Structure 1
């Protein structure tokens, strides 16, 4: 039935449509038809909102191509900033689900360039929330966390709806980064916030998140309870992709619980619901579960077939992750290049304006000699300043390791010796932590030197963020690093070394494009009463490091005198150390 004079105004009706998408999406098509059948003329903004709602429905039903067409039509209406923000978010989401990462990143870049110019705080908050969601889909979880936290901090205690969306974005980022305890508390927080905001679909997402965390923690009864609750909560929305995701997780839970029939049932539901490539993660879980079910039922031929399917899906997932990572890194590089070009153009413009000003001054004064003198002094001044700046730049560069960006061996030696003098003058403590990457040669041999360089840079970035400003961190050479800890006793040094060891062990290597593990071995030594320089302390740390290698690697070893005769003395002498 078309809209009548006594019914809701068009704007109120559009608000009802937008709310129904979150609670009763099945009734939205009829509501849209009623607006389209009305004789009331729609403004450009109203048409954009109606097209945006239609595209949202298409996204929920996994018709991403149709969603993009509607979104492009909505963008042509030139809507205000808050609507344009939603359009960009849905566009980037659709492109990501179609695995068109280049276009997805172009849309993200366009949205980022807009956000800095937006003064409306509500629009900025919504933009941050949507960017967090897109970066999450792209696999850039640290960036997703950054924008999710920005949105959450800006919206806390002001807007329940936005706080609900920001809270679940933070929880999802923690889950993807493997911070399970933080993810669990985050999903509880988002569930409470979304219930208050009456945001039912995000409440369902929060419940699903709690089930996923329980599954990863091995709490299968809790995972079953939460996932069944989420499945029930999702049913009214007909959000097939999320329903399929929950069914895949349930199949995994039931296999772990030994309920083979239920595991088989839910896995088959996932296979039956297959719609497009975006479900490949769920398909991998389902086929892996079915392979396990068939093995328990001693149907080994079927088990092998499902295992092959699972391996094929795993390859697709890995290839997609590499494609996302490559596209993202390329986009970041291109963005940096554009910024550099703009900076150079600005400098050229400034130089041009300076030259024009000089010419005008010359013409006004008409005194060639004065002009030459002033110009000469100015030019000499520039040469002096430029020379000084270049000298300072080269001095800084001479102290930096070109690969990792931390201090090199010489700079570390100089700073360490200066700090040792201060420590000895105050009769303080001084500790040295020396560590070396385990099996680094095999990483270079198996994955190439580019991957090895990535490991060294990632380790340097990770450890740098853990140290105090007074600590001295340097690359000794190759895969060996040193941490000098002025005024630190052995207990503190042991804590630093163990924290660093765990941090290195936890590095996720998937962003390198390869899948492998990283560990390091640590040696610790402390200032003795008769030490006159760093050399004897470094020697003892080197001996302790060699002991850690001999004891199985990925260990922290504190120097004791008995180690001097341990293992091969020649091997000890071959360890890299600051000289």
Structure 2
């Protein structure tokens, strides 16, 4: 998406400097700086420095507001976003005219979107939009609608973004505004799976943008056209347009656009059987695409993983897959954050609207009562107050009831000590997940583990230390599991992990990682030095089927095989011996279980190991 700061800026006509007098000259230079602020940033900065240095003593309020706007714009343009936001917000609050208010407010929305503060941007947009109903310049009104279209697209509200973009297109004939609004509209339509069937809407918009020398926007439209052609089964044509305009895209120096082109070429070349070309474009996306939250970066890591997999290079495939998973999670988190920001602001706006509507109705009732009988005014105010208290009470108890419901559900599903699923909730969710996996023909594995000699820990150091150990064990295993896996405490020191989409080898890898993390727990934080280990048993749907009870039984059988085999090891159902090599002595002389060491006193306590 085109950077909001340079998108949909209203054009201005440069006023000639032939008017006599210093005031006319100052106005002309203000107009010239305003016109060049996005088209020629370097000249804009020079003009602004000159304006600040030659500010006349008799500066009018309008001239001062315009100079303040240009200074705020320069701060944002230079990457000093917080300072620019503060300056533009202050100008919005004190500006006398609606035109300057909407310009300052739109600048705040742009800057907050650049800094990913979508909630703040949407709140400011809510303050600016009412001014579009006033008598303001058409260019400023179109500018606000264009900014609204872009930020709603970024927040994932493509239907609203499309509506605002179409409002701009329906009211302006300015080519540059139509270029940006058209690209925003097509982007929203493509995200909504409603792309125009005809290519001419894309090609005509490219012609408009190129005539305005907006290479970034023109090539964003070409990228959308390439996606359309690929979706229609015409991938060679999509590759051709991307390769033909790639040099032009590289010259723009705009990382998101460069990353978009390379990511699409990587995907299409891999599908066409050109892994070397796909890998080269994917690497270019990663190195030059910019940002940690883009879909292009996610697609590039996925392409490199698939290329490594096709080359039978498991080491590189695993490395690329991890990077893909990390980028994909970051991108999904970013999308969720944007959508959440929109929901929060929408809820706030709804509440404010409801409050205003309620107050308006109350005022109407009061005015009517005053006209009928002036003496009843005091009773009317008391009635309004009681109504407000009643509404507040209803809202309060509704809120309290919801909180209690959420709390009870959490208590019913969560193990209070460790914060993970309790036995009932784990069994319920695991059974449902296994049923879904069975329908989809997807592998799954169950990992059970039990802490070794945990009773001795409780007996020797107390239940408080035992609880501490259970919490640290859950924390140690958290990094080894994915969001789609289920993790629960079955009781006491026994835990279970349901790994979705995992075969025996993957389950052994996860179990080994958990085993190593548990063995690495530094117990000195409990006040004592001792070793913590666990024994693991694994069953898979390949050999045990999708019945949860059978999986638990087979995994439990393997767990006790691990116990009998010396503890601190992993056993997989269906393999005669342990699935992992024996590990080193889990109880070194410095921390023997029969001689616990208190870190508080430095003394050993005699105890009998169990």
TM-score category by the smaller chain? 0.5 to 0.7
- Give the secondary structure class of the aligned counterpart of 1:225: helix
Find the counterpart in structure 1 of residue 143 from structure 2: 126
In the comparison of the two structures, how many residue pairs are matched?
Answer: 353
Task: Decide whether the 8 Å contact of 1:208 with 1:227 is kept in 2.
Answer: yes
Counterpart CA distance in 1 for 2:83 and 2:321 is 38
1:339 aligns with 2:359: no
Task: Decide whether the 8 Å contact of 2:152 with 2:158 is kept in 1.
Answer: yes
Find the counterpart in structure 2 of residue 152 from structure 1: 169
Report deviation, 1:190. 1.8
- Cα distance, 1:198–1:268 mapped onto 2, change above 3 Å: closer
Counterpart CA distance in 1 for 2:240 and 2:105 is 36
What is the RMSD computed on CA atoms of the aligned residues? 3.6
Counterpart CA distance in 1 for 2:40 and 2:282 is 27
Report deviation, 1:352. 1.4
1:246 aligns with 2:261: yes
Find the counterpart in structure 2 of residue 204 from structure 1: 219
Find the counterpart in structure 2 of residue 44 from structure 1: 64
Report deviation, 1:138. 0.9
- Give the secondary structure class of the aligned counterpart of 2:116: coil
Task: Decide whether the 8 Å contact of 2:267 with 2:303 is kept in 1.
Answer: yes
Report deviation, 1:28. 4.6
Report deviation, 1:81. 4.3
Task: Decide whether the 8 Å contact of 2:125 with 2:148 is kept in 1.
Answer: yes
Counterpart CA distance in 1 for 2:101 and 2:252 is 25
- Cα distance, 1:195–1:269 mapped onto 2, change above 3 Å: closer
Q: Which of 39, 46, 54 pairs up with 1:31?
A: 46
Task: Decide whether the 8 Å contact of 2:161 with 2:188 is kept in 1.
Answer: yes
Find the counterpart in structure 2 of residue 429 from structure 1: none
Q: Which of 222, 230, 233 pairs up with 2:237?
A: 222
Whichever structure has more helix as a proportion of its residues is 1
- Cα distance, 1:362–1:322 mapped onto 2, change above 3 Å: closer
Task: Decide whether the 8 Å contact of 1:234 with 1:243 is kept in 2.
Answer: yes
1:57 aligns with 2:77: yes
Name whichever of 337-346 and 223-232 sits farther off: 223-232
Counterpart CA distance in 2 for 1:207 and 1:15 is 34
Report deviation, 1:165. 2.4
TM-score, scaled relative to structure 1: 0.53
Per-residue displacement from partner, 1:287-330 (whole Å, max 9, x unpaired)? 01111221232222111221122122222222332332233223
Task: Decide whether the 8 Å contact of 2:118 with 2:151 is kept in 1.
Answer: no
Counterpart CA distance in 1 for 2:275 and 2:84 is 44
- Give the secondary structure class of the aligned counterpart of 1:193: helix
Q: Which of 291, 295, 300 pairs up with 1:286?
A: 300
- Unmatched segments (≥5 aa) in structure 1: 364-441, 447-579
Counterpart CA distance in 1 for 2:51 and 2:139 is 30
Find the counterpart in structure 1 of residue 340 from structure 2: 326
Q: Which of 248, 266, 272 pairs up with 1:257?
A: 272
Counterpart CA distance in 1 for 2:244 and 2:28 is 33
Counterpart CA distance in 1 for 2:34 and 2:275 is 42
Counterpart CA distance in 1 for 2:144 and 2:364 is 34
1:317 aligns with 2:334: no
Task: Decide whether the 8 Å contact of 2:295 with 2:331 is kept in 1.
Answer: yes
Find the counterpart in structure 2 of residue 193 from structure 1: 208
Report deviation, 1:144. 0.5
Counterpart CA distance in 2 for 1:183 and 1:94 is 35
Task: Decide whether the 8 Å contact of 1:149 with 1:166 is kept in 2.
Answer: yes
Q: Which of 98, 109, 112 pairs up with 2:126?
A: 109
Larger Rg: 2
Find the counterpart in structure 1 of residue 184 from structure 2: 169
Report deviation, 1:10. 5.4
Task: Decide whether the 8 Å contact of 1:108 with 1:131 is kept in 2.
Answer: yes
Counterpart CA distance in 2 for 1:201 and 1:83 is 28
TM-score, scaled relative to structure 2: 0.51
